[in-house]
Structure 1
């Protein structure tokens, strides 16, 4: 038998879903793009349901993807929720515990959109709750189900700059963003100056991106995660 593929956990949503004869059934799910991106990069994807009891699942994982989704509860970074903030408290509790435990184990982590924000808050940072109030436009989330597309700028010598190379166009869908990165380092910014990538150089692999590389099956980012997980 050949060497086993690195096992990559992917955090999930709990949302009402409809299929077949079932309507609006509370369902643990994640867009298939995440699974396909991990598989295409050479990893074995495992979906992680919310679990607020303990982070023991980390014992069998080689790497972790913090997926996108709903807004992070502002109380986690000392703020009150604004009128446009929509949260899932059970998910917040489970993922913050999971993330902090994964960081303590130095498990390779890729945070996508909300996942980048989870990493930020775990690092003591804060978020902007509604970007149109901050930057005066909605190009980061132009319409329901429509990705914004723009060029990002990356810090020379950073991990994300090395991974992205000359292809710096990204697909984003978010109305919140990093304000204070805490102990993380901002290594990428959008055209309007908002953080697009954060890293923690003190860990083997901790990278957060505000865009959605899973949509394009970006082997650069998922491949780097899988490679770090295999090391």
Structure 2
């Protein structure tokens, strides 16, 4: 049977992102299900969980004060944390994309930078065309899940985030780094595949390496997972 992959995206808009995510899950051998309600009111069996990009996570989630005014989505924060509870309790694989990486890190006990160095971001484009075409290099670290997918070393990705991981959560490690050593990916140290990337592989379905990333994730969701100790 195809593994059921639940995913959470922005509640309004971003239809293209949702459609591409659903498509690439299907192409990878999974059955996509969009999760719009908490598990208590929308009980579904899921074999994997993907958290997509979107508005910033409220700093109170990692015991911080607001340093930079931004748009927040408290309802989505609650929804994602509830489904992460299910994933952690049932040893379900998790993939976080951009905001999803940040939420995975926060859920596991890490925190975030609320503002990146302006010298790093000042030349980044801001419009949709620039976002679609912009690429930057990141370094995939050896002996990680991402290294098995992409190979260790440089990788060009589509990433324009203004917030980032500060302290990696206990039980996790950095899997890729960017300019100045900033964390660009994390992964759990354990038997269950849980990782996050600060770029958007769902928007690069034409690249074989990005499709391979989703296939490896769906394959992990198909394999029985060991229980957390």
Task: Return the TM-score normalized by structure 1.
Answer: 0.84
- Matches of 1:161 and 1:50 in 2, distance apart? 34
- Matches of 2:191 and 2:105 in 1, distance apart? 14
Corresponding residue number in structure 2 for 1:224: 216
Corresponding residue number in structure 2 for 1:22: none
Structure 1 residue 28 displacement after superposition: 8.8
Which residues of structure 2 form unaligned runs of 5+? 224-229
Corresponding residue number in structure 2 for 1:168: 155
- Matches of 1:69 and 1:141 in 2, distance apart? 18
Q: How has the CA–CA distance of structure 1 residues 175 and 55 changed in structure 2, closer, same or farther, with 3 Å as cutoff?
A: farther
Q: Map of 1:115-134 to 2, 5 A cutoff?
A: 115-131=100-116, 134=117
- Alignment counterpart, residue 196 of structure 1, candidates 181, 184, 188: 184
CA contact (8 A) 1:50 1:90 kept: no
Map Cα deviations across residues 146-198 of structure 1 (whole Å, 9 max, x no partner). Answer: 33411211221111111112671111131111011121211110133211110
Alignment of 1:8 onto 2:5: yes
- Matches of 2:55 and 2:5 in 1, distance apart? 22
Moved more, 119-128 or 200-209: 200-209
Q: What RMSD in Å do the two structures reach over aligned CA positions?
A: 2.3
More helix by proportion, 1 or 2?
Answer: 2
Which residues of structure 1 form unaligned runs of 5+? 18-26
- Alignment counterpart, residue 87 of structure 2, candidates 78, 102, 106: 102
Alignment of 1:83 onto 2:80: no
Structure 1 residue 114 displacement after superposition: 0.5
Map Cα deviations across residues 176-230 of structure 1 (whole Å, 9 max, x no partner). Answer: 1101112121111013321111000214210100000011122121111110011
Alignment of 1:93 onto 2:90: no
Q: How has the CA–CA distance of structure 1 residues 56 and 203 changed in structure 2, closer, same or farther, with 3 Å as cutoff?
A: farther
Corresponding residue number in structure 2 for 1:24: none
Map Cα deviations across residues 88-111 of structure 1 (whole Å, 9 max, x no partner). Answer: 000001111211221221101111
CA contact (8 A) 1:12 1:29 kept: no
Map Cα deviations across residues 20-77 of structure 1 (whole Å, 9 max, x no partner). Answer: xxxxxxx9995322112211211111111143x63864x5111111111110010000
Alignment of 1:74 onto 2:66: no
- Alignment counterpart, residue 210 of structure 1, candidates 177, 198, 223: 198
- Alignment counterpart, residue 154 of structure 1, candidates 117, 140, 161: 140
